[in-house]
Structure 1
């Protein structure tokens, strides 16, 4: 356990310093424009600023996630063909599937990268706010003075940021705000996943193992967040809800402006482009439809000349060969 603890500390300590630096920087900037440094609103806005900073830094990973998800959707028909061909041989199927991923430049784990990267950040923030700042114990760049400031900060003067739904101390206001934030966190998670499946997945990709994985996440993740959310401090709930809203807006922008081929989002974009072009007086040429393939008539086989005897070949061209004389009977008449 000691070795695991040391490894965890080695991983989390840099995150403590990075997250606390961003959080303290936002808190300092907000106090410079006149906000009360000990106000709950100031600390909530600092947490939201931290969220926006983290998510902006993760944009390259999000772009990679979108590309990987799109490739996964587009190669689903080929995956199904491999399953039909090598379904009886799991080892060969796995080899051919990985070969297909490599040839198409698809990483099946890239779609999980933003979540995997965010989890340590979330845990570090949770530890900073719940186990250090909320208890007045400074950590990294959060000094003891700032920790006491956060410990006593209250939103609207009645909702402590360190409080949770389970530890509301009988405060109805805390329970209501915490419940609303948990519902918002759960709803935004569900909406984001649902938006991806309903608008930016081709019909062929809505069946198969990848689609089953997406459907599982659609219902499991919101339940996980709802169950875990009741134990999160109010400040952490603001972080996660803001992060979900960022994800939903970012994904909406990508789906709207760069949809995957063969999806409902692509059809909607083409219709918007057509209406926009007509509004500006430009004529939009309809896409060429595939014409039926007409087979060209095959050339008639060249008729081979009949075999001729040597005598016939010596005759003058154009001269008809003389008829063969008929044999005569005994009376001198022709048979």
Structure 2
């Protein structure tokens, strides 16, 4: 077993446990064990378990994103300070000040990618499980040879879950018999995966960013990713087996719905979503917006508070008498 296989072994063990567990559940309620819909529902169950387990990490991601938005103006000041300076000393100084800012504020620019990074081994694990099943190989523990054969050869609308768009395309180009349903379903799923990824990212950028964040370099990077990531899905999705594509599409839909709920109920302060939430609460009478106090009144209040909090020095009786006689 190579290093990559050793890393994936425990992940595949858990994937097989969840997948076979849901397959047994759906089979017990009357669905055919070899039907494609049974295995697709098992994949959906796998997504629900995995994404539910990632909710605490998603909450940490949201908090980290908020902190990154808060420090964006300070980060821009550091970058403006060293703008145009290409010498080694300036680059090291900028890097040092940036890392110090992250350390002082407790932010981590990589934490926003954490849920995606954690899902990637699961994605590759499922891909490996399907690939083994495609070659009639048993899994590491729970996916027996019979179950692997059932999984790989199960069909949904006449398309085997192990089939890929590129595989059927190569058959068509070579003049061999090919399955048109595989290419149709795969093309539709690639489009849905691409669209769901684009909408999810667009939700964040259009509604859940403050004006300061939209002027930061981080926003420009996310704007580039907004168009690059869907293209990655479009080009790589043609090589995914249909079973893996069902997993990724379901996961994308979960992310889109989850992101919508978070933006609606816990928007970034100062963003368009935050203003919309305040308007909804105000319309329902659950939010009272107080008018800002005049500067003079605020200054008077501050002076009164300072006066009232000043400590009064005790005066002895003799000093009181002397001051009384002088007057």
| Deviant stretches of 4+, over 3 Å | 290-296
Is the 2:76–2:217 Cα contact (8 Å) retained in structure 1? Answer: no
1:194-247: CA deviations, max 9, x gaps? Answer: 111111111111133211221121111110110000111111111000000000
Match of 2:39 among 14, 39, 43: 43
Is the 2:282–2:288 Cα contact (8 Å) retained in structure 1? Answer: no
Unpaired runs of at least 5, structure 1: 297-335
Q: Which residue is equivalent to 2:76? A: 80
Equivalent residues in 2 for 1:233-272, closer than 5 Å = 233-272=241-280
Match of 2:206 among 198, 209, 230: 198
Does 262-271 or 131-140 show the bigger shift? 131-140
Q: Which residue is equivalent to 2:178? A: 170
| Alpha-carbon separation, structure 1, partners of 2:251 and 2:163 | 20
| Alpha-carbon separation, structure 2, partners of 1:291 and 1:198 | 34
SS at match of 2:22: helix
SS at match of 1:136: coil
Q: Which residue is equivalent to 1:9? A: 5
TM-score by length of 1: 0.81
Closer, same or farther in 2 for the Cα pair 1:254/1:84, shift >3 Å?
A: same
| Alpha-carbon separation, structure 2, partners of 1:133 and 1:276 | 55
Mapped pair 1:18 → 2:14: yes
Is the 1:185–1:240 Cα contact (8 Å) retained in structure 2? Answer: yes
Q: Which residue is equivalent to 1:304? A: none
Query: Which structure has the greater CA radius of gyration?
Result: 1
Closer, same or farther in 2 for the Cα pair 1:293/1:93, shift >3 Å?
A: farther
Q: Which residue is equivalent to 2:136? A: 136
| Alpha-carbon separation, structure 1, partners of 2:105 and 2:296 | 30
Mapped pair 1:126 → 2:127: yes
Q: Which residue is equivalent to 2:311? A: none
Is the 1:135–1:147 Cα contact (8 Å) retained in structure 2? Answer: no
Mapped pair 1:291 → 2:294: yes
| Alpha-carbon separation, structure 1, partners of 2:197 and 2:29 | 33
1:31-71: CA deviations, max 9, x gaps? Answer: 11111000010011111111111111111111111111121
SS at match of 2:167: coil
| Alpha-carbon separation, structure 2, partners of 1:207 and 1:241 | 32
1:17 Cα deviation after fit: 0.4
| Alpha-carbon separation, structure 2, partners of 1:37 and 1:123 | 25
- Greater share of helix: 2
Match of 2:66 among 70, 90, 100: 70
Is the 2:22–2:45 Cα contact (8 Å) retained in structure 1? Answer: yes
1:293 Cα deviation after fit: 5.5
| Alpha-carbon separation, structure 2, partners of 1:164 and 1:101 | 44
1:7 Cα deviation after fit: 2.1
1:171 Cα deviation after fit: 2.1
Mapped pair 1:101 → 2:97: no
Unpaired runs of at least 5, structure 2: 169-176, 301-327
Q: Which residue is equivalent to 2:191? A: 183
Q: Which residue is equivalent to 2:304? A: none
Is the 1:23–1:50 Cα contact (8 Å) retained in structure 2? Answer: yes
| Alpha-carbon separation, structure 1, partners of 2:260 and 2:184 | 29
Q: Which residue is equivalent to 1:316? A: none
- Corresponding pairs, count: 285
Is the 2:153–2:160 Cα contact (8 Å) retained in structure 1? Answer: yes
Q: Which residue is equivalent to 1:328? A: none
CA RMSD of aligned residues (A): 1.7
| Alpha-carbon separation, structure 1, partners of 2:53 and 2:282 | 35
| Alpha-carbon separation, structure 1, partners of 2:263 and 2:191 | 25
SS at match of 2:291: coil
Mapped pair 1:30 → 2:31: no
1:290 Cα deviation after fit: 5.7
